[in-house]
Amino acid sequence: MSSLSKVSNDTGASYEAVTSIEMATVFAALSNSARIDILRYIAGHRHCGCKEITEVLPLAQSTVSQHLKVLIEARLVVVKAVPPRSKYDVNDDLIKSLSLTTCSFLDSCCGGDCQ
């Protein structure tokens, strides 16, 4: 991740700030409600497969695969090949950095009065 600065959370953990381009890419990936649902499912069911997702969401396997591709390209989801299938997980580092960077961005827009 190419970044401009570091951001810290309340515990003092430091993460690389997400650039404006990275933020736009992530938010574009999250602009579809099905992708948000898929990301939420993966976050709650780590190392799940596409079949598991299609069993709980009203989407065809091919549709889920296309949405997963977008989430992977945005780096929100990481894939691990576990033959004969692929397993999906959330990119925790990116999510933490995005959360902190977004909060910092929103605070800068409203003079730090955002809650």
Fold that domain 17-109 belongs to in CATH: Arc Repressor Mutant, subunit A (1.10.10)
User: For residue 1, what pLDDT is reported?
Assistant: 41
Q: How confident is the model at residue 2 (pLDDT cuts 50, 70, 90)?
A: very low
Which of 36-50, 54-68, 82-96 comes out lowest in average pLDDT?
Answer: 82-96
User: For residue 43, what pLDDT is reported?
Assistant: 96
The total of other beta-carbon atoms located within 10 Å of residue 17's CB is: 20
Domain ranges of the chain: 17-109
Q: What is the DSSP letter of 17?
A: P
One DSSP character per residue, 18-86 reads PPHHHHHHHHHHTTSHHHHHHHHHHHHSTTB-HHHHHHHSS--HHHHHHHHHHHHHTTSEEEEEETTEE
Residue with tokens 């999510």: 95
